[in-house]
Structure 1
Amino acid sequence: GCARRKIMPDRTNPSISRAALLRIAPLTTFPALPSFASTSHKAGVLLRDGSLLPLASFGVQIYDDRTAEALTLQALKAGFTSFFTSADAGNQRGFARALAQSGVQRSNLFVAASVLSDDVESFTGARSRTARACVESLRNLERGGLSGVDMLMLERPARTRAGIAGQWSALRGMRDAGACQSLGVCNFGLDELDALVEESPLVNQLPFSLGVRMPHAAVLKAHARRGVQLQAWGPLGGPDNYFPKSLLAECAAIGRPSGWSGQQVALRWILQSGVAFCVHSGNPRHLRDDIAVLDFELSEEAMHTLSALATKPWSA
């Protein structure tokens, strides 16, 4: 989750050469990735490095390769061209096969891959674990027919400042080796973002939604000051992200006159707050509804009402 943890002081030297990283995780030469074509996607937000993050992404969850393949094709058919995948889900080959089968040009797709390496506290241990995880992820995708990703992300921060520095050093080395174009993180608190002293990530993926208790405006401002774009995971709830029925009913009441569902209103509030989102569904209609939020706009009054709802007491 996005709960902030106390970071232990750094007791190691965070400096490492690219050559040392490559000795830890031998890499093949990665092909140059085509630039993501902004004109091919309905909407995106410009990141600090000039690259484009699509506003709406589909997140591949934990299931087998066959299911990942089927649901990814379903998401592509609904209109998604941006995807989030993780090696720990165990289905990257199936996901990659779907992209290869779809016939969609690689330049019209945006693929972000996260790696899990938060259980090592030392700089060298975290760096090594992260580098190996990146190589494993990229090889899984390549076996399914996808060469390279647009963004590599850390799934969670390590528990020490030294560990975080090691994780980040590995990701920067992968980017320098040509494995990706951009770097991001997931579930980083502000202290953990500030541990990345040499370079901030472009994106931080957090459970940002009307259903999550947090000072939304303050969180947005803090990330903006650091040049970090927010992306919401679980924006409509899920196993680990609660979204009260009473809150959804109030969203539905706002959307009803215009024919928008409560879920669509909740997603649109996220977008108009300046945050991208990553959703998951096995229902084709839900996916079409999710991508359709790119095509309408909430009034300023509705935005104020929704922001106020995020701070009021809820019933289940």
Structure 2
Amino acid sequence: MQEVPVHTLRDGRSIPALGFGVWQIEPDATERAVAAAISSGYRSFDTAEAYFNEEKVGNALRRSGLRREEYFLTTKVWNTNHGYSTTLAAFDASMRRLGVEQLDLYLLHWPSRVRGLYVETWQALIRLQQEGRVRSIGVSNFSVPQLSRLISETGIIPAVNQVELHPRFQQRELRSFHQRFQIATQSWSPLGMWKNGRPSILNPTIQAIAREHGKTPAQVVLRWHLQEGLIPLTRSVNGKHIAENFDVFDFELSQEDMRSMRSLDDPAGRLGPNPDTAEF
């Protein structure tokens, strides 16, 4: 079994370079999917209060035989629990469902600009980290203006920003900001398969690169993320695909391959909600 490389976060903590996410996986299927991911070699698992499967993720991890220090666990506070005291209570509830005493990474799931409480919510995450209940804190789906406000008003820079990112939507401006402030970029929907969007793996350029390397298009896309310094979160309930998506450490894309992949970027390639305009 291959060992996953790690990234060192700005707070000095380490995070695996490849993770397994459980968004849109039904609770009844979650334990099986996480168990299959563990068997394939994944050691980083991403869930959220709003996914309604935290308990199942916790069950799978406990039954796996892994020691707590052998895996990296992330969850997120949902928009309806924004605010200082409500976030602290939501965190306690998530921890009960997960069945752990310390979390590796806690994220503010969306800025929820219509509520206007994300700075206050971030201050609650800061407290949780100071108390040692969370090792690292970060955000998800934050734009440059939202990150700038968070940093300027609290002085605390998120360790991670988890955002939609795939070959058709490469978020270069946001990633430049991340690099400036040493914020790690996690990619959700790394294959560009959000809802009814046309997945990146159907792109002829990607399929040609896959044939050249004897790999699947999904493996090529995930390898692109890794070589770009991104942290992709894969998701599947199919055991074969779960294993294939982990098998991305035994080949390397050439500079020409990388240029071809970068050329697929499209400013209109976003498939999910825009954090600057979303009304939730």
Give yes or no for TM over 0.5. Answer: yes
Task: Name the TM-score, length of structure 1 as normaliser.
Answer: 0.77
CA distance in 2 between partners of 1:282 and 1:111 (Å): 19
Q: Does 1:80 align with 2:37?
A: no
Q: Of 252, 257, 274, which residue of structure 2 is paired with 1:302?
A: 257
Equivalent residue, structure 1, for 2:61: 99
Q: Of 151, 158, 161, which residue of structure 1 is paired with 2:112?
A: 158
Q: Does 1:184 align with 2:138?
A: yes
CA distance in 1 between partners of 2:201 and 2:136 (Å): 39
Q: How does 1:277-288 map to 2 (within 5 A)?
A: 277-288=232-243
Q: Of 149, 153, 166, which residue of structure 1 is paired with 2:103?
A: 149
Q: How does 1:10-89 map to 2 (within 5 A)?
A: 41-89=3-51
Secondary structure at the residue paired with 1:309? coil
Q: Of 186, 192, 205, which residue of structure 2 is paired with 1:250?
A: 205
CA shift, 1:117, in A, is: 2.7
CA shift, 1:255, in A, is: 1.8
- The percentage of counterpart residues that share the same residue type is 31
* CA shift in 2, pair 1:245/1:150, >3 Å: closer
CA shift, 1:90, in A, is: 1.7
Q: Does 1:132 align with 2:89?
A: yes
* CA shift in 2, pair 1:77/1:169, >3 Å: same
Q: How big is each residue's C-alpha offset from its partner over 1:281-306, in whole Å with a ceiling of 9 and x where there is no partner? A: 01111111111113321001110111
Query: Which runs of 5 or more residues in structure 1 are unaligned?
Result: 1-39, 121-125
Secondary structure at the residue paired with 1:295? coil
CA shift, 1:313, in A, is: 9.8
Equivalent residue, structure 1, for 2:224: 269
* CA shift in 2, pair 1:69/1:251, >3 Å: same
CA distance in 2 between partners of 1:63 and 1:312 (Å): 29
Q: Does 1:222 align with 2:177?
A: yes
Kindly indicate whether the alpha-carbon contact (under 8 Å) linking 1:204 and 1:231 is maintained by their aligned counterparts in 2: yes
Query: Which runs of 5 or more residues in structure 2 are unaligned?
Result: 270-280
CA shift, 1:155, in A, is: 0.5
2:180 maps to a residue whose letter is R
Q: How big is each residue's C-alpha offset from its partner over 1:63-121, in whole Å with a ceiling of 9 and x where there is no partner? A: 5543211111011111111000112222212111111111112111000111113675x
Secondary structure at the residue paired with 1:205? strand
Q: Does 1:167 align with 2:121?
A: yes
Q: How big is each residue's C-alpha offset from its partner over 1:136-163, in whole Å with a ceiling of 9 and x where there is no partner? A: 1111112xxx332101111001317961
Q: How big is each residue's C-alpha offset from its partner over 1:229-260, in whole Å with a ceiling of 9 and x where there is no partner? A: 10000111334473446853320101212201
Kindly indicate whether the alpha-carbon contact (under 8 Å) linking 2:23 and 2:51 is maintained by their aligned counterparts in 1: yes
Q: Does 1:204 align with 2:161?
A: yes
Kindly indicate whether the alpha-carbon contact (under 8 Å) linking 1:161 and 1:192 is maintained by their aligned counterparts in 2: no
* CA shift in 2, pair 1:313/1:252, >3 Å: farther
CA shift, 1:177, in A, is: 2.0
* CA shift in 2, pair 1:192/1:299, >3 Å: same
CA shift, 1:133, in A, is: 1.4
Q: Does 1:238 align with 2:193?
A: yes
* CA shift in 2, pair 1:243/1:147, >3 Å: farther
Equivalent residue, structure 2, for 1:15: none
CA distance in 2 between partners of 1:235 and 1:184 (Å): 19
Kindly indicate whether the alpha-carbon contact (under 8 Å) linking 2:193 and 2:200 is maintained by their aligned counterparts in 1: no
Larger radius of gyration: 1
Backbone CA RMSD of aligned residues: 2.3
Task: Name the TM-score, length of structure 2 as normaliser.
Answer: 0.87
Kindly indicate whether the alpha-carbon contact (under 8 Å) linking 2:102 and 2:135 is maintained by their aligned counterparts in 1: no
